[in-house]
Amino acid sequence: MTSLSVSLKPPCTACGNKNAGIFRCEGCLQVFCRKHLNEHRDFLSYQLDEIAQEHDILQQTIVENEDKQINHLPILKQIDQWEKVSIEKIQQTAEEARIQVKTLTSLQTASKELHDLAERLEKARIDDDYVETDLRTWTNMLQKLKDDINTFSPSISIQENPEEILVAKIYVSTTLQQ
C-alpha cells in the first residue's frame, strides 16, 4: 500500500523520478520535493532581489535626473527673459499707438496757428501797420481756425496686422541625452 501511495504522487520536477513531488508552486505550476521547493523559493527570492535592485537603480536615476533639473534653471531664465522682452515690445507698440492717437486728436496745430495769428496781430498793432486787406485775411484765418476746432472729430480706429508678428511664440523642445 505504501508503494501505491508513492506512485500516485507526481515526481519532483527538479529531480525527475528520484523523489515524489509534495508541493506545487502556484506560480509556475511545477511540483517539487521539499529540498527542491526550498531551492525554488530561494531562486524566486533571488529574482525578487534583482527586481528590487533594478527598482532602486531606476529610483536613483530619477533622483539624479531631478538634481540635473536644477541645471535647467538657465532655460527658465531664458523663458523669463523672452517674457520680459515680449512685454516690452507690446508696451512700446502700445505707447507708439497712444502717441499717434494723441497726435491725431490734438488741437496743438490749431493752437499754434492761433498763437501765431495773435503774434501777427500784436505786431501789426504795435507797428500800426495794417490795412483792410490784412484785417480780412486775419478774420478769414480766425474763422478757418474756428471751423477747424468746431468740426474737429477725427474717426480713429485701431487695426491689427495679422501678418506682422510682434511676439514670436516659443516652444520647448527636448533631446534625450544618453
Cell digits for 2?
A: 505504501
At residue 71, does pLDDT exceed 70? no
DSSP codes joined into one string, 82-111: HHHHHHHHHHHHHHHHHHHHHHHH--HHHH
CA dist., res. 33 & res. 21, Å (int) = 4
Across the chain, mean pLDDT equals 86
Task: Summarize pLDDT for 151-162 with one digit per residue, the tens.
Answer: 776 677 888 888
Enter the pTM of the model: 0.45
- Name the residue type at position 173: S
CA dist., res. 20 & res. 31, Å (int) = 9
- Residue 178 has a pLDDT of 57
Top pLDDT among 109 and 35 is at 35
Question: What residues does 31 pair with on adjacent strands?
Answer: 24
Cell digits for 142?
A: 480766425
Task: Summarize pLDDT for 1-24 with one digit per residue, the tens.
Answer: 444 444 588 999 998 878 888 999
